[in-house]
């Protein structure tokens, strides 16, 4: 079994040849049907580095398969470019959106990208130009390690006008004046599309600190608004997952757009009210309540969340402050009052303009 390109490279034999279908997942039932027969699956390079191996291995016991890896495309590309892999980012974008690059784009970045096909090189050039990184150099490598191997270094304009053949990867040398995202929590507010319903940058940084994401954890972001909390949670580590729950359809759609644009397309967005929409979700490791805070919601969370779940809730109104104070007295945890002011014009001079104070309750149940 394998894609047509791989099968075409095999010399004539009596073996049955089966094309692996697209999408990839549809080939697993076919492969399962060959149980008990000697079967070979053909894939490019190292099957456990952005390859087919991990998907197949999850579907079959270890005793049923043996992997024979070849040179990975990343190793071949690094050898052609002279780039140290330990300091070069690697991305498998053959089945993922180009927006996965966005949190990482910064002048000086070097990355090796696996792309879907030759046309994706022009799509990459277009995306880099739109995000302000028009001075990137693209090192386009086709059919690495084979008789058709070809490598060219091109500008974005040349990439848009050129023709490239599959299989293709690109060594990306980032340059330009596009904004680079800071690595710390509390990303700039202006990277998010919003109608004003957003946890502002300083409060977001404190909220993420209280949520304390750890590898492999799952977050509920209740009252998602703009999705800034759950999106930044996902930016902390690729192993993290999250669901944003938002009652308003327009805001749920906005959360989806923000997540996609900022490279966090794995965010699950649920339109619905809490706690009604929570019962069908997987159990979380952490919960953030940024909107829709009520006694009924806190009662439900207390009754249904597992021991050890971290809960962080923010309040602005006097009524919601009193609610958090009462629950903190009941369950413990930390109660924090956040008061912020920014310098702004005051006639011909400047003065402090205070924001509404935010009360934050954080507790481990």
Q: Which residues of 127-159 are buried (b: 16+ CB within 10 A; e: fewer)?
A: bbbebebbbbbbbbbbbbbeeeeeeeebebeeb
> What is the C-alpha separation between 204 and 242, in angstroms, rounded?
16
Contact between residue 238 and residue 267 where contact means Cβ atoms under 8 Å apart:
no
Task: Name the stretches of the chain with pLDDT < 50.
Answer: none
Burial class (CB in 10 A: 0-12, 13-18, 19+), 300: middle
> What is the C-alpha separation between 311 and 309, in angstroms, rounded?
6
The torsion angles phi and psi of 237, rounded to 5 degrees, stand at -165, 140
Q: Which three-class secondary structure state does DSSP give residue 340?
A: coil
> What is the C-alpha separation between 311 and 363, in angstroms, rounded?
5
Query: Radius of gyration over alpha carbons of the chain, in Å?
Result: 25
Q: Which of 56, 50, 89 is nearest to 72 (CA)?
A: 50
pLDDT score at 45 = 84
pLDDT score at 74 = 95
> What is the C-alpha separation between 310 and 211, in angstroms, rounded?
7
Q: Which domains, from first to last, does the chain contain?
A: 4-64 (no CATH), 73-173 (3.30.950.10), 189-364 (3.40.50.150)
> What is the C-alpha separation between 121 and 159, in angstroms, rounded?
6
Contacts of 272 by beta carbon, 8 Å cutoff, 6+ apart: 245, 246, 247
Length of the chain: 365
What confidence tens digit (pLDDT) does each residue in 172-212 have? 999 999 999 999 999 999 999 999 889 999 999 999 999 99
> What is the C-alpha separation between 160 and 339, in angstroms, rounded?
50
What confidence tens digit (pLDDT) does each residue in 293-314 have? 999 999 999 999 999 999 999 9
pLDDT score at 13 = 83
H helix runs in 305-359, sequence order = 318-331
pLDDT score at 51 = 84
């Amino acid at each position: 079994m394998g894609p047509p390109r791989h099968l075409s490279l095999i010399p004539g034999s009596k073996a049955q040849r089966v094309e692996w279908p697209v999408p990839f997942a549809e080939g697993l039932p076919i492969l399962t049907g060959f149980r008990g027969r000697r079967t070979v699956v053909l894939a490019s390079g190292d099957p456990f580095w952005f390859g087919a191996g991990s998907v197949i291995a999850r579907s079959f016991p270890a005793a049923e398969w043996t992997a024979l890896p070849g040179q990975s495309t990343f190793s071949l590309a690094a050898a052609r470019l002279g780039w140290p892999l330990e300091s070069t980012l690697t991305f498998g974008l053959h089945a993922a959106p180009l927006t996965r690059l966005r949190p990482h784009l910064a002048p000086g970045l070097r990355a090796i990208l696996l792309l879907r096909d030759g046309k994706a090189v022009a799509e990459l050039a277009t995306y880099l130009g739109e995000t302000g990184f028009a001075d990137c150099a693209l090192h386009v490598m086709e059919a690495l390690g084979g008789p058709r191997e070809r490598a060219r270094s091109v500008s974005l304009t040349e990439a848009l006008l050129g023709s490239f053949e599959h299989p293709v990867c690109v060594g990306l040398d980032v340059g330009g004046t596009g904004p680079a995202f800071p690595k710390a929590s509390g990303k700039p507010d202006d990277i998010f599309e919003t109608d004003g319903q957003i946890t502002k940058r300083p409060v977001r940084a404190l909220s993420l600190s209280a949520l304390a994401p750890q590898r492999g954890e799952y977050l509920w972001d209740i009252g998602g608004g703009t999705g800034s909390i759950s999106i930044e949670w996902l930016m902390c580590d690729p192993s993290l997952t999250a669901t944003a729950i938002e009652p308003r359809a327009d805001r749920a759609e906005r959360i989806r757009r923000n997540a996609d644009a900022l490279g966090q397309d794995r965010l699950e967005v649920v339109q619905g009210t809490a706690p009604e929409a929570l019962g069908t979700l997987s159990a979380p490791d952490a919960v953030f309540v940024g909107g829709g805070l009520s006694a009924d919601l806190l009662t439900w969370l207390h009754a249904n969340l597992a021991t050890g779940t971290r809960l962080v809730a923010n309040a602005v109104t006097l009524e919601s402050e009193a609610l958090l104070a009462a629950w903190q007295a009941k369950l413990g945890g930390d109660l924090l009052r956040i008061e912020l002011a920014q310098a702004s014009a005051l006639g011909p001079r400047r003065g402090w303009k205070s924001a509404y104070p935010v009360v934050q309750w954080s507790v481990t149940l």
